[in-house]
C-alpha cells in the first residue's frame, strides 16, 4: 500500500470525510469507491454489503483511563465503532489486564492479541532501529517526524522492519516536545549527572548513559513508586500535563527542559495477519481514525501542557534548562552513538540515513519559517 497516496488529502481532511459519512447513530455505510486515490489493497472493488462483525483485542502500555494516551486510544475505539456502523469493535485492555505493559509487542507478534498501543522505543532491545521511529534527541520535531513518516519514507521503512515480526504499524499519537525530566537534586554541571539512576528509554537513554547516568526502563505505573522510594534518582516522562498527574513534583522538585524527545511518535500496531484479514473498508476506517487520533493527541498535549504549567505555580517546582556543558556533551555522545550503531546494525543505518536526509531538508524551512517567527515574536 502507498501510504503517501492514501494520506494526500491530509489526516484531518480524511478523518472529516470518513466521519461525515456517519449519521447521528453512526450507522451509515461509507462508499470508498468514490475515493480511488485512497486504495488500500490490490482489489479495485469496494463492496457496500454489510460487514461481518469483527472484534479485535488491543492491549496498551498505559493504565486504564490514563490521560491523553489512555483516553486517546479509548476514544479511537469509539470512533472506529461509530464509523463502521458497529461492524468493527476494538476492545481496549489497559496494561496488565491482558498482558504486561512491555510485553505487548511479543503478544501481538505471536497473535496472542490483535493489536497494541505503545511506543516504538520500548523495543530497541529487539532492533535498535525501532527506537528511531519514535525520534532522536536533538532531532525531528513532532511536525517534522509526522511529515517524514507520511511523505519522507519513514512509514515504509517502519512497516518493512515490523513486517519481519509479523506486525503492521500505524501512527498512534505524538507526545509533542517533552521535558527533560525530574531530579531530586539540581543539575548544575555535567558532573552532577554521574552515577544517577534515571528512568529514561530509547536513544535518550543511550545518550544519558554516556553522560554517566544509569538508565532504567520502567512502565508508567512503576515510575512514581520507584522515585518515591529512592530506587531511582530521576525520571523523564512526558510534559507538564502528564507529569503533574503522576505526582513527580511531590518527590523531585527540579524540572528540566528537554532535548531527548522533541516529538515522540506513539504506535498503533496490528498483528500483520489480522490486518491483512480485514476488509478494505475496515482497514480504511482504522487508518483514518488512527491519523485523527495521532493529530488530536499532539494538539491535546499542547493544550494540556499550557494549563498544567500554570498549575505548577505555587508547588515549589524549580524549572530550568540543562547547563551548557551537559548539552554539549549530550550532542557529542549522540553523534558517537549514532555512528557506532549505524556501523553495527544495517537496519539502523538505513533508517537513520533516511531520517537525517529528511531533517537536512526540513531544517532550512523550519529555521526560516517557524524558527525565525518565534525569534521575532519573543525578541
**pLDDT tens, 325-369?**
999 999 999 999 999 999 999 999 999 999 999 999 999 999 999
pLDDT at 10 over 70: no
Nearest to 218 by CA among 209, 206, 231, 207: 231
**pLDDT level of residue 43 (50, 70, 90 thresholds):** very low
Mean pLDDT of the chain: 89
With beta carbons less than 8 A apart as the criterion, state whether 108 and 269 touch.
Answer: yes
* Whether residues 167 and 242 fall in one domain: no
Q: Count how many domains the chain has.
A: 2
pLDDT of residue 51: 64
pTM: 0.84
With beta carbons less than 8 A apart as the criterion, state whether 65 and 71 touch.
Answer: yes
C-alpha cell at 370: 517557524
Q: What percent of the chain has pLDDT over 70?
A: 87
With beta carbons less than 8 A apart as the criterion, state whether 120 and 134 touch.
Answer: yes
* Whether residues 229 and 256 fall in one domain: yes
pLDDT at 21 over 50: no
* Whether residues 127 and 198 fall in one domain: no
pLDDT of residue 26: 37
Nearest to 162 by CA among 109, 118, 115, 114: 109
pLDDT of residue 72: 97
* Whether residues 54 and 119 fall in one domain: yes
- Domain-located, residue 310: no
Neighbouring C-alpha atoms within 13 Å toward the C-beta of 19: 20
More confident residue, 48 or 253: 253
* Whether residues 24 and 39 fall in one domain: yes
* Whether residues 165 and 201 fall in one domain: no
With beta carbons less than 8 A apart as the criterion, state whether 175 and 239 touch.
Answer: yes
Provide the residue range defining the domain that includes 100. 3-174+264-303
pLDDT of residue 141: 96
- Domain-located, residue 53: yes
* Whether residues 150 and 200 fall in one domain: no
Q: Looking at residue 195, which CATH number applies to its domain?
A: 3.40.190.10
Q: Using CA atoms, how far apart are residues 322 and 180, in angstroms rounded to an integer?
A: 8
Last residue of a domain, one of 303, 331, 363: 303
- Domain-located, residue 248: yes
* Whether residues 291 and 202 fall in one domain: no
* Whether residues 52 and 132 fall in one domain: yes
* Whether residues 144 and 212 fall in one domain: no
Chain segment 52-106, per-residue pLDDT in tens: 899 999 999 998 999 999 999 999 999 999 999 999 999 999 999 999 999 999 9
* Whether residues 285 and 193 fall in one domain: no
pLDDT of residue 119: 96
pLDDT at 262 over 90: yes
* Whether residues 128 and 158 fall in one domain: yes
Compute CA 68 distance to the chain's CA centroid, rounded to the nearest angstrom.
12
Amino acid at each position: 500500500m502507498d501510504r503517501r497516496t492514501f494520506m494526500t488529502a491530509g489526516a484531518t481532511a480524511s478523518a472529516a470525510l470518513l466521519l461525515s459519512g456517519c449519521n447521528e447513530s453512526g450507522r451509515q455505510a461509507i462508499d470508498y469507491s468514490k475515493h480511488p486515490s485512497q486504495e488500500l489493497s490490490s482489489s479495485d472493488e469496494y463492496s457496500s454489503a454489510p460487514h461481518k462483525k469483527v472484534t479485535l483485542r488491543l492491549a496498551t502500555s498505559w493504565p486504564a483511563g490514563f490521560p491523553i494516551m489512555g483516553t486517546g486510544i479509548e476514544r479511537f475505539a469509539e470512533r472506529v465503532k461509530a464509523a463502521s456502523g458497529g461492524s468493527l469493535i476494538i476492545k481496549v485492555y489497559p496494561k496488565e489486564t491482558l498482558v504486561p505493559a512491555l510485553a505487548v509487542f511479543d503478544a501481538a507478534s505471536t497473535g496472542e492479541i490483535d493489536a497494541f498501543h505503545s511506543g516504538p522505543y520500548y523495543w530497541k532491545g529487539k532492533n535498535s532501529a525501532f527506537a528511531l521511529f519514535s525520534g532522536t534527541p536533538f532531532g525531528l520535531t513532532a511536525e517534522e517526524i509526522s511529515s517524514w513518516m507520511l511523505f519522507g519514507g519513514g512509514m515504509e521503512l517502519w512497516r518493512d522492519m515490523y513486517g519481519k515480526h509479523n506486525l503492521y504499524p500505524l501512527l498512534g499519537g505524538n507526545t509533542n516536545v517533552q521535558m527533560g525530566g525530574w531530579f531530586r537534586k539540581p543539575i548544575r554541571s555535567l558532573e552532577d549527572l554521574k552515577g544517577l539512576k534515571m528512568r529514561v528509554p530509547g536513544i535518550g537513554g543511550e545518550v544519558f548513559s554516556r553522560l554517566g547516568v544509569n538508565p532504567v526502563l520502567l512502565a508508567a505505573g512503576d515510575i512514581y513508586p520507584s522515585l518515591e522510594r529512592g530506587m531511582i534518582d530521576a525520571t523523564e516522562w512526558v510534559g507538564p500535563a502528564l507529569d503533574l498527574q503522576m505526582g513527580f513534583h511531590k518527590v523531585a522538585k527540579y524540572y528540566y527542559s528537554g532535548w531527548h524527545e522533541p516529538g515522540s511518535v506513539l504506535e498503533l500496531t496490528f498483528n500483520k495477519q489480522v490486518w491483512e484479514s480485514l476488509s478494505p473498508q475496515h482497514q480504511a476506517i482504522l487508518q483514518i481514525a488512527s491519523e485523527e487520533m495521532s493529530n488530536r493527541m499532539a494538539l491535546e498535549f499542547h493544550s494540556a501542557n499550557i494549563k498544567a504549567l500554570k498549575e505548577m505555580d505555587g508547588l515549589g517546582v524549580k524549572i530550568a534548562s540543562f547547563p551548557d556543558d551537559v548539552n554539549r556533551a549530550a550532542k557529542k555522545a549522540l553523534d558517537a552513538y549514532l555512528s557506532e550503531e549505524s556501523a553495527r546494525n544495517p537496519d539502523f543505518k538505513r533508517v537513520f540515513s533516511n531520517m537525517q536526509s529528511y531533517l537536512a531538508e526540513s531544517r532550512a524551512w523550519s529555521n526560516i519559517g517557524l524558527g525565525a517567527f518565534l525569534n521575532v515574536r519573543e525578541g
